[in-house]
Structure 1
Amino acid sequence: MESAKKGFALLAGSVFLALGLNLFLIPQGLMEGGALGISLIVHYVTGTKVGLTFILISIPIFLLTWFVYRPFFYNGIHGMLISALVIDFFAPIRDMAVILQVEPFTSSALGGILIGIGTGIMLRRGISIGGTDLLAQLTAKGLQTNSGLIILLFDTIIVTAGSLTVPAISLVHSLITVCSVGLTISVIVSWKRNTAHPEKSFSRL
């Protein structure tokens, strides 16, 4: 039963990721953080498939986690592979963005929310999509610091690099995406804790 729930979370989360990227971010030339963000830079410059690039970028990081801290490898390998395949499978829906005609600010927020929902759904079942988040977790573990701060630092650097590499990328809109992703994930993960322990839901009141 637990395996079925994890499988559903993995598939559903990957679909939300794919929708956020292909409907809102890529058509507007927007950025995301992490390995997905690096994959978007490569896509904008070379036209390479985002999912395929994501896999290629993630492989060295997963090899590192295999030797350094294997639990990170097991928690992320399936999420990385399935989400990458689903992202490229949904690539044709980018044509729908012309019909939707959503302006960049709204696209950055909606894209970030959808990606955050997808990532949050998977995290609730202990699934990670890996990428630079794994590298950030390893760094945080070595430095004995908050992994969220390291992830935010990595994301900011990647988004800034993207705006410098591809002038058409809006740094402001892309930072909105990163914030939308982070806040959505935080809400979903916190909601899980509150529903699992209802007596703690009003602890701040």
Structure 2
Amino acid sequence: MHFWKKGLVILVGSIFIALGINLFLIPYKVLDGGIIGIALILNYLWGLKPGLMIICFSIPVFMIAWFNYREYFYNSLHGMIISSFLIDLLQPLVGFIHIQSIYSSILGGTFVGVGIGLMLRFKTSTGGTDLVAQLLSDKTGINVGILIFIIDSIVVLSGGLLLSTDTLLLSIITIFFVGVTTSLITKNVRAF
């Protein structure tokens, strides 16, 4: 039964992440942070598929996890693959919803935060910098949502410099809502 419950959480969390990205972030060239943000930067600049780029950039993180934190590797691999697949599968939804960019940033950040938070709450994740943040959280005791926020800020600042001031400002709003939502969902929970 535990296997099915974790599988359902990975699927639901991945759907939230994919919808957040495709419905709310991509239409306004808004970034999330971490590996998703890096994948979105590559999508905006060169049209590369974000889900595929997430998988490519996650390889080094998963190699570290394989050698040092085998449990993290197993608990995150499925989340990364399923969420990446769904991000690319649901890409035709881009532009389906038309709302003001600030509300799109808030909703995108909230959706992504719910997806990440659900997975972390049930001892799985999408890997990537979420996995790095979880590893750092275990070592430092700092809330994983705060660490995700810090890592995401670095990616968003870099992406904002490459893309536009609007992208930077909207992305800051997005990562704020990703961090807050993830923190609220994972509060008082040790994910791994």
TM normalised by structure 1 equals 0.84
Q: Distance in 1 between matches of 2:186 and 2:142?
A: 16
Contact 2:113 2:177 in 1 (8 A): yes
Q: Report the CA distance shift for 1:74/1:153 in structure 2 as closer, same or farther (over 3 A).
A: same
Deviation sequence 1:160-193 (CA, Å, 0-9, x none): 0000111265212111101111111222233x86
Structure 2 partner of 1:23: 23
Structure 2 partner of 1:49: 49
Aligned partner of residue 95 in structure 2, secondary structure: helix
Aligned partner of residue 32 in structure 2, secondary structure: coil
Structure 1 partner of 2:110: 113
Please identify runs of 4+ aligned residues in structure 1 that moved more than 6 A.
none
Q: Percent identity?
A: 44
Q: CA deviation at 1:138?
A: 4.1
Q: CA deviation at 1:73?
A: 1.1
Amino acid at match of 1:160: L
Structure 2: stretches of 5+ with no match in the other structure: none
Deviation sequence 1:18-74 (CA, Å, 0-9, x none): 110000000110010111011111111110101000000001110111112222212
Q: Report the CA distance shift for 1:121/1:150 in structure 2 as closer, same or farther (over 3 A).
A: closer
Alignment of 1:4-15 (within 5 A): 4-15=4-15
Amino acid at match of 1:163: G
Q: Distance in 1 between matches of 2:118 and 2:134?
A: 19
Matched, 1:157 2:150: no
Question: Which shows bigger deviation, 47-56 or 148-157?
Answer: 148-157
TM normalised by structure 2 equals 0.89
Amino acid at match of 1:10: I
Q: Report the CA distance shift for 1:111/1:63 in structure 2 as closer, same or farther (over 3 A).
A: same
Q: Distance in 2 between matches of 1:182 and 1:151?
A: 6
Among residues 125, 128, 131, which one is paired with 2:125 in the alignment? 128
Structure 1 partner of 2:177: 180
Aligned partner of residue 95 in structure 1, secondary structure: coil
Structure 1: stretches of 5+ with no match in the other structure: 194-205
How many residue pairs get aligned? The number is: 188
